């Protein structure tokens, strides 16, 4: 299968996966929207639309363009928009830091290549990842995005009484309503998006190009579901083009931003109304009387031994009580996060004797602290106000 024929298929709107022993020879196809496979086996995996250039393979299961059901989104065959072009890679480790770091400044932990590496390394067995840099007509980096494909439980979106019916049906069909979704974002809910624009860039042209690219990937991976998630208020204001393309806007879970205008906790406590101050003091007293102790870990040196499977189960107990369960992070994610950020990671453990009964983890990044995930033993929550004393 030659380069010219593969190019014609891409122009006609086909989704293709390509492989070449010399990756640079496949770059022209990748720049037109083909997915670059890492091996012949990956390129020839059944159920995908793929080709290998320059006589090194054959087309496997190639199908024509399809309409994706996220309202009425249609694909255009060309992968360009107002002169903007893109570069697509499957691992952040392959991305030139000079391209990426302008979009991952201090205080933006979720776009830090180390954070993305932690996600890729710990969740690679259940998800796929791509990173995109979009360039303006002059060739300057204009935007960066992280894409990920991972399975979600469709039961999340089923209301009673249908939920019980689905659960009973799964006794016979375990994978019923378990679907793959292509996200602009990571399979880690942080309250922040994974799409950044350079100042002065054409947001509409970039979003149109990103949408077409996501459609190509979705075709190759066999999923009709596309989601751009966790946009903040400023980003929502720039996302009208997505609505015009057929996306439906829905609310994400609320997240909180706490400005650091206080010298310390006592200064904060003195600033709140007496009603809230007395409530906080009662909770602190309750925690102190429980006999629990607090240990702060600001180094990754011993976290592999501290973050045991018993501690991980505390996180799972919180997830199981959540109304929305988009992802279940593996224990390795927490350990890999510490390896990637040995000086910035922060864990707080609460002990009852020698047993950890609660924890919270986060990252210091620039002048900001990003509180990430917690876990706790709910049997002690009422007695010691574990959650209230842990999260702040």
Pairing of the two strands 141-153 and 128-135: antiparallel
State yes or no: pLDDT of 90 exceeds 80. yes
Read off the pLDDT band of 392 (50, 70, 90): low
Average pLDDT of span 238-242: 82
- pLDDT above 70 as % of the chain: 81
CA distance 110 to 359: 21
Q: Which residue has the higher pLDDT, 388 or 9?
A: 388
pLDDT tens for 255-296 read: 777 777 888 888 988 898 999 999 999 999 999 999 999 999
State yes or no: pLDDT of 50 exceeds 50. no
Read off the pLDDT band of 27 (50, 70, 90): confident
State yes or no: pLDDT of 75 exceeds 90. no
Q: Which pLDDT does position 14 carry in this prediction?
A: 46
3-state secondary structure at position 195: strand
Q: Which pLDDT does position 3 carry in this prediction?
A: 65
Average pLDDT of span 19-27: 73
State yes or no: pLDDT of 34 exceeds 50. yes
Pairing of the two strands 345-352 and 293-297: antiparallel
Omega cis (within 30) before 161: yes
Strand-pair partners of 150: 181
CA torsion sign, 272 to 276 to 279 to 280? negative
Q: Which pLDDT does position 41 carry in this prediction?
A: 56
Work out the number of other CB atoms within 10 angstroms of the CB of residue 120.
Answer: 22
CA distance 86 to 33: 9
Per the CB < 8 A criterion, the answer to whether 335 and 307 are in contact is yes
Read off the pLDDT band of 209 (50, 70, 90): very high
Mean pLDDT of the chain: 81
State yes or no: pLDDT of 103 exceeds 80. yes
Domains along the chain with CATH numbers? 1-64 (no CATH), 67-244 (3.40.630), 265-390 (3.40.630.30)
Q: Which pLDDT does position 43 carry in this prediction?
A: 57
Q: Which pLDDT does position 298 carry in this prediction?
A: 83
State yes or no: pLDDT of 211 exceeds 90. yes
State yes or no: pLDDT of 9 exceeds 90. no
Average pLDDT of span 343-371: 93
Most confident of 27-31, 234-238, 268-272: 268-272
CA distance 25 to 28: 7
State yes or no: pLDDT of 333 exceeds 70. yes
- H/E stretch holding 80 reads none
Distances (CA, A) of 389 to 102, 265, 294: 37, 12, 10
């Amino acid at each position: 299968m030659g380069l010219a024929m593969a190019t014609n298929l891409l122009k006609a709107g086909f989704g293709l996966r390509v492989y070449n022993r010399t990756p640079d020879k496949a770059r022209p196809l990748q720049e037109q929207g083909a997915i670059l496979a890492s091996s012949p086996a990956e390129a020839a995996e059944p159920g995908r639309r793929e080709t290998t250039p320059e006589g090194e393979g054959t087309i496997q299961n190639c199908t024509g363009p399809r309409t994706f059901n996220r309202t009425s989104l249609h694909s255009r065959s060309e992968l360009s928009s107002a002169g903007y072009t893109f570069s697509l890679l499957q691992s952040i480790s392959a991305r030139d830091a000079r391209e990426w770091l302008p979009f991952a400044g201090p205080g933006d932990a979720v776009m830090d290549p180390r954070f993305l590496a932690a996600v890729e390394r710990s969740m690679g067995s259940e998800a796929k990842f791509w990173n995109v840099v979009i360039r303006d007509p002059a060739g300057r980096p204009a935007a960066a995005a992280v894409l990920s494909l991972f399975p979600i439980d469709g039961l999340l979106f089923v209301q009673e009484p249908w939920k019980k019916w689905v659960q009973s049906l799964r006794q016979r069909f375990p994978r019923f309503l378990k679907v793959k979704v292509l996200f602009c974002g990571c399979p880690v809910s942080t309250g922040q998006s994974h799409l950044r624009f350079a100042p002065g860039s054409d947001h509409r042209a970039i979003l149109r190009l990103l949408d077409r690219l996501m459609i190509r990937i979705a075709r190759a991976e066999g999923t009709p579901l596309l989601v751009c998630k966790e946009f903040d208020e400023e980003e929502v204001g720039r996302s009208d083009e997505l609505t015009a393309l057929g996306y439906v806007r829905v609310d994400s879970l609320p997240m909180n931003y706490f400005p650091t205008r206080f010298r310390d906790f006592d200064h904060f406590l003195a600033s709140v109304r007496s009603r809230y101050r007395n409530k906080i003091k009662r909770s602190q007293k309750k925690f102190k009387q429980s006999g629990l102790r607090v240990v702060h870990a600001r180094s990754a040196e011993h976290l592999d031994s501290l973050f045991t499977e018993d501690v991980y189960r505390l996180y799972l107990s919180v997830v199981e009580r959540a109304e929305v369960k988009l992802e279940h992070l593996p224990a390795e994610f927490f350990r890999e996060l510490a390896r990637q950020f040995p000086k910035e990671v922060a864990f707080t453990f609460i002990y009852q004797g020698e047993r950890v009964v609660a924890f919270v983890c986060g990252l210091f990044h620039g002048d900001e602290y990003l509180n990430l995930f917690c876990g706790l033993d709910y049997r002690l929550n009422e007695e010691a106000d574990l959650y209230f004393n842990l999260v702040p």
